[in-house]
């Protein structure tokens, strides 16, 4: 109770200060489909000011600011999400319009991504397979980079140091003229990660890591109608895996991922708009069962993507759009059969403004593959906004997830006869959209069929194989709120989620019924203070619900001081109440810890 009182006291104290005004930043929408569609779904925006409060791995930012639950194998280790109670492979991560979930396991490791490599992050709860393909069942996370023109030359250097010998550095160079825009940055995060743990090991042993990220983005605007963009993102790093006991063999993991994409936007007039993307994605990892030996299990997949979007404004109140995507993958490795797969999807989207207060969007899509059967999917969204400050939304959709390379081609148990999972979702939302106060509420229901589950083989119990044998449902309530007044900002999210495995009648593992976040920030002259609170309910750690991880509450507090327009220094205290907690069994998170950050702008 003392923690609760102190956290709210820190928030409420900021209400009595006075200062200059600040303005809300607009949404960063650099993907044509995202700009024009999905208006019947709620959105959480994380702009650069929020991102800068959480430098480092993306997990820390999303855990503190969104209703998504993240399961971590320890600080900086493999991190997987549960969005609206769904599995990790049911959350799509979209990088500037392209789905970048791993083709190996269908997931994204959020600790590989550096949060301050992006200008904005958008979170969309609910189904999104029409626009972003496989895995967009629980929700979609958009990682966005923007292009500024006519801004001249800017450079910045960020340096950070924290507990457990944690270092962070980022250098960014931006240059833009009237027609040309460029942004190049390099960042590195590393840590000995040897924090104390409340078990007999006493410390987080064998937990070192480092991550590197290089981003280079270029844009050229020929005229107001034509713009060409090139994106690139390189991630490479190394991690040790923390020991569970003294007898464990120290293991580790290396990753090398790079993503390249070119994009052409053409808008000849107000009636026509087109966007074409061509992307190449390489993902590779080496798993060492013993870091003192050279042998590693190697897996790698190369992905080639062509995506085309065309929109036509047929009438003043009606538009029709076509979205197509062709994908070619080839993968292999020590435990993965060398194989390829092709897929192609075609979607048709109609948007109709029936009146000044009512509109709807209807979509259909079919995905064709040479390796598995994909369902026919659809979506229907309706928006009713009788007054400026109120909106009623409803959305129904069918979404899907394709089998992964591990599911299909794992040497000892892959099943080439798998079909895609399908999910049926219904959602209704109410939004209050005031000048300073905004509240979004969502009720949702999700039913997932043909879930892929690994089970012992009938011929050999020691070999596990994947099958389409399971069904599940998730349902619940979400609340997303924000309030701004002059220099004060307050954001909060709450989710209540129930899950059910239809085969066992039990809830999913690592899916809390309750999660609440609240953050506040206030700026007075050159000083800015902020606080972040996160409450996470208990989670089950086994399928029969016989063991749990207890609920926990964490609070972070930070100060930023602007010395001059070119110099800024920040201090942050994480887990200020020194809470012992885990998000995965036997993988303790650090207690109270500190970091300091200096930013220099040239």
241-276 burial, b at 16+ Cβ within 10 Å, e below that, comes to bbbeeeeeebbbbebebebebebebebeeeeebbbb
What's the Cα-to-Cα distance from 454 to each of 170, 381, 463, 505, 571, rounded to whole Å? 41, 35, 10, 18, 46
The dihedral formed by the CA atoms of 287, 292, 293 and 294, expressed in degrees to the nearest 10: 70
Q: φ, ψ for residue 580 (rounded to 5)?
A: -85, 120
Q: Identify the pLDDT of residue 213.
A: 96
What's the Cα-to-Cα distance from 506 to each of 443, 473, 554, 598, rounded to whole Å? 21, 11, 28, 48
Global pTM value: 0.92
What average pLDDT does this structure show over 1-13?
41
- Place 27 in a pLDDT band, splitting at 50, 70 and 90: low
- Residue 112 · residue 281 · CB < 8 Å: no
What average pLDDT does this structure show over 278-294?
94
Query: pLDDT, tens digit, for every residue of 291-306?
Result: 999 889 999 999 999 9
Mean pLDDT, all residues of the chain: 91
- Place 3 in a pLDDT band, splitting at 50, 70 and 90: very low
- Place 29 in a pLDDT band, splitting at 50, 70 and 90: low
The secondary element (H helix, E strand) that includes residue 3 is: helix 2-13
Q: Identify the pLDDT of residue 351.
A: 96
**Cα gap 394→360, rounded to integer Å:** 9
Does 19 have pLDDT greater than 60?
A: no
**Cα gap 514→498, rounded to integer Å:** 9
State what percent of residues in the chain have pLDDT above 70: 95
Does 428 have pLDDT greater than 50?
A: yes
- Place 8 in a pLDDT band, splitting at 50, 70 and 90: very low
144-157 burial, b at 16+ Cβ within 10 Å, e below that, comes to bbbbeeeeeeeebe
If one counts every other C-beta atom within 10 angstroms of the C-beta of residue 398, the result is: 21
Does 356 have pLDDT greater than 80?
A: yes
- Residue-wise DSSP of 531-549: EEEEEE--EESSTTS--EE
- Place 13 in a pLDDT band, splitting at 50, 70 and 90: very low
The DSSP bridge pattern shows strands 139-144 and 91-95 to be parallel
Does 572 have pLDDT greater than 90?
A: yes
3-state secondary structure 305-346: EEEEEEEEEEECCEEEEEEEEEEEEEEEECCEEEEEEEEEEE
Query: pLDDT, tens digit, for every residue of 165-218?
Result: 999 999 999 999 999 999 999 999 999 999 999 998 999 999 999 999 999 999
Q: Identify the pLDDT of residue 24.
A: 38
- Low-confidence winner among 26-40, 134-148, 435-449, 562-576 (lowest mean pLDDT): 26-40
Domain boundaries along the sequence of the chain: 2-446+462-601
Structural fold of domain 2-446+462-601? Maltoporin; Chain A (2.40.170)
Q: Identify the pLDDT of residue 2.
A: 43
β-bridge partners, 341: 329
**Radius of gyration over alpha carbons of the chain, in Å?**
24
- Residue 589 · residue 74 · CB < 8 Å: yes
- Place 116 in a pLDDT band, splitting at 50, 70 and 90: confident
Name the token pair of 488: 């004060």
Q: Distance between terminal CA atoms of the chain?
A: 46
What average pLDDT does this structure show over 215-241?
96
Name the token pair of 266: 């053409």
| SS3 call for 8 | helix
What's the Cα-to-Cα distance from 257 to each of 168, 211, 228, 249, rounded to whole Å? 20, 11, 24, 27
- Residue 79 · residue 68 · CB < 8 Å: no
Instruction: Count the alpha carbons within 13 Å of 471 in the hemisphere toward its beta carbon.
Output: 6
State what percent of residues in the chain have pLDDT above 90: 76
Q: Which residues contact 263 (CB under 8 A, 6 or more apart)?
A: 96, 97, 228, 229, 230, 231, 275, 276, 277, 278
Q: Identify the pLDDT of residue 28.
A: 61
Q: Identify the pLDDT of residue 22.
A: 28
Does 47 have pLDDT greater than 90?
A: no
Name the token pair of 539: 């989670």
Q: Identify the pLDDT of residue 7.
A: 44
Q: Identify the pLDDT of residue 348.
A: 97
């Amino acid at each position: 109770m003392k923690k609760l009182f102190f956290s709210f006291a820190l928030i409420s104290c900021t209400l009595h200060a006075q200062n200059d005004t600040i303005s809300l930043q607009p949404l960063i929408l650099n993907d044509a489909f995202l700009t024009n569609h999905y208006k019947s779904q709620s959105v959480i925006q994380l702009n650069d000011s929020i991102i800068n409060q959480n430098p480092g791995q993306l997990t820390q930012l999303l855990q503190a600011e969104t209703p998504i639950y993240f399961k971590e194998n320890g600080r900086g280790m493999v991190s997987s999400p549960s969005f609206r109670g769904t599995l990790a492979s049911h959350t799509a991560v979209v990088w500037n319009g392209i789905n970048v979930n791993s083709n190996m396991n269908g997931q994204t490791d959020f600790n590989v991504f550096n949060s301050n490599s992006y200008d904005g992050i958008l979170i969309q709860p609910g189904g999104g397979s029409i626009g972003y393909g496989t895995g967009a069942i629980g929700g979609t996370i958009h990682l966005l980079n923007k292009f500024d023109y006519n801004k001249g030359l800017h450079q910045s250097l960020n340096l950070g140091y924290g507990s457990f010998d944690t270092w962070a550095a980022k250098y960014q160079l931006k240059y833009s003229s009237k027609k040309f825009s460029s942004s190049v940055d390099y960042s590195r995060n590393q840590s000995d990660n040897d924090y104390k743990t409340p078990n007999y090991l006493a410390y987080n042993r064998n937990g070192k890591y480092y991550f590197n990220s290089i981003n280079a983005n270029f844009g050229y605007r020929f005229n107001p109608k034509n713009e060409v963009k090139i994106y690139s993102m390189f991630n490479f790093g190394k991690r040790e895996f923390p020991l569970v006991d003294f007898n464990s063999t120290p293991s580790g993991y290396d990753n090398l991922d790079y993503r390249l994409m070119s994009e052409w936007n053409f808008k000849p007039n107000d009636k026509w708009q087109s966007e074409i993307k061509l992307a190449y994605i390489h993902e590779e990892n080496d798993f060492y069962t013993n870091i003192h030996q050279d042998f590693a299990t190697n897996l790698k997949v190369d992905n080639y993507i062509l995506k085309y979007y065309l929109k036509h404004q047929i009438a003043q109140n009606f538009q029709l759009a076509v979205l197509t995507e062709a994908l070619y993958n080839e993968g292999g490795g020590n435990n993965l059969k060398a194989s390829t797969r092709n897929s192609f999807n075609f979607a048709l989207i109609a948007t109709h403004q029936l009146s000044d207060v009512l509109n709807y969007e209807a979509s259909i899509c079919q995905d064709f593959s040479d390796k598995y059967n994909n369902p026919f999917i659809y979506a229907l969204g309706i928006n009713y906004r009788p007054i400026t400050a109120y909106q009623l939304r409803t959305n129904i959709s069918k979404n899907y997830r394709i089998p992964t390379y591990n599911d299909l081609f794992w040497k000892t148990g892959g099943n080439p006869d798998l079909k895609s999972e399908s999910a049926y979702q219904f959602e209704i939302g109410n939004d209050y959209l005031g000048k300073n106060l905004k509240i979004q509420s969502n009720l949702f229901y999700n039913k997932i069929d043909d879930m892929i589950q690994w089970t012992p083989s009938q011929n050999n119990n020691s070999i596990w194989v994947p099958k389409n044998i399971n069904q599940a449902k998730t349902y619940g309530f979400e609340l997303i709120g924000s309030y701004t007044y002059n220099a004060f900002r307050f954001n909060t999210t709450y989710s209540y989620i129930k899950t059910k495995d239809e085969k066992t009648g039990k809830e999913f593992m690592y899916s809390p019924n309750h999660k609440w976040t609240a953050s506040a920030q206030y700026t007075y002259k050159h000083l800015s203070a902020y606080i972040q609170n996160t409450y996470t309910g208990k989670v089950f750690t086994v399928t029969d619900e016989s063991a749990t991880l207890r609920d926990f509450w964490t609070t972070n507090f930070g100060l930023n001081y602007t010395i001059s327009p070119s110099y800024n220094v920040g201090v942050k205290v994480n887990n200020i109440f020194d809470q012992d907690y885990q998000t995965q069994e036997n993988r303790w998170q650090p207690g109270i810890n500190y970091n300091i950050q200096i930013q220099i702008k040239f």
